[in-house]
Amino acid sequence: MDGAEPVVTGFARAEIPPGGSAREAIQQVFNEGHFRAKRVVTGVSGESTVVRYIPMLRMSDDELEQAIKFETDKYLPFDLEDVVMDCQALRGRVHAKVNENGETVEDDTMTVLLAACRKEALEERAAMVKGQGLTPIAIDLDLFAVANAWELCGLPMESQSEDGTVSAIALVDVGATRSSVNVLVGGESCFSREINIGGADMTQAIVRRLGVEGFEAEAIKRAADGHKTEVALAVQPVLEELASELALSVDYVEHHEGVQVEETLLSGGGILTPGVAQYIEQATARPTRNWNPLEALRVDVNRVDVEELEAWAPSLVVAVGLASRVQ
């Protein structure tokens, strides 16, 4: 941080090859990046995590902390003693009803965001980080790291249009093995989910079609010069499935939350495949573009290879969101 302004002062990346480990990748990143900091934030995702949006009676934060314990049986597939969880009332999602006089008034309910993760997964992640001589100051959900990156680097949309329609924006991060969707209204999450489709599925589709090794397919996927038609045909079934799930998510949130998703912003390594944004825009009938989380951040050009950083920028959203929590 430079005063109140965040500054990118270092960058390094490492890919985990088949059979490789995250531990080795972390070590490689710190060696190549020459990072001196030891306090870090990491993230978790997948089957060990749960995010739910729960309707509850209006109450104070202290009352909610006690009351949420009696709601977990309905929403968590894990025993309460096996998880670490937190909750937050979504103040921006005001519930309303029409009274006997035909007037629209606030009712006595609110939406509560419940997030939980299995203790075992958290302990494993913390142990991996500590094993590299680092201190984990927080373990976040990757879903929310994407939203944190938007809050740090973006300008939240106006939540109310002139005609009274509530506007929302969909942040979609296409990772290696899964994709996340987080719909924000006025900068506050109102819907999120994970989809078990990612860039690795596209890579494997290219492997099968072109008969090449995985590392070669990965390179071809990102720069399809000379293989443009073959790559497009190979990844089309994967993109169709991903776009279908995204369309279902957008339709669901618009119907159940009464909002209008005005734009979809794409991030993650999976969108480095040429043509992904155009395909998803056509399939979901929503304006769609790739999102560079660094466009609003200052970069120390004396310490960072700006050209390399920009080349990988769309894949850094989760990392930026996690880094935003390091003070």
Largest CA distance in the chain: 69
Residues 6 or more apart whose CB falls under 8 angstroms from that of 21 comprise: none
Most confident of 134-143, 251-260, 280-289: 134-143
2 domain residue, yes or no: no
| CA-based nearest residue to 169, from 179, 159, 180 | 159
Kindly state the average pLDDT of the residues 78-102: 77
Stronger pLDDT, 50 or 166, i.e. the higher one: 50
Range of the domain at 176: 7-323
pLDDT at 154: 66
pLDDT at 227: 82
Least confident of 10-24, 230-244, 299-313: 10-24
235 domain residue, yes or no: yes
Q: Considering the chain, what is the average pLDDT of its residues?
A: 88
Angle subtended at Cα 43 by Cα 82 and Cα 195, rounded to the nearest 5 degrees: 85
Residues 6 or more apart whose CB falls under 8 angstroms from that of 131 comprise: 23
Q: What is the CATH number of the domain that holds 23?
A: 3.30.420.40
Asked if the model's pLDDT at residue 3 lies above 60, the reply is no
Asked if the model's pLDDT at residue 51 lies above 90, the reply is yes
257 domain residue, yes or no: yes
CA-to-CA separations, 75 to 72, 120, 126, in angstroms, rounded: 5, 19, 26
15 domain residue, yes or no: yes
Reported as a single tens digit per residue, the pLDDT across 160-205 is 666 667 899 999 999 989 999 999 998 889 999 999 999 999 999 9
pTM over 0.85, yes/no? yes
| Residue 88 pLDDT level (bands cut at 50, 70, 90) | very high
1 domain residue, yes or no: no
pLDDT at 41: 95
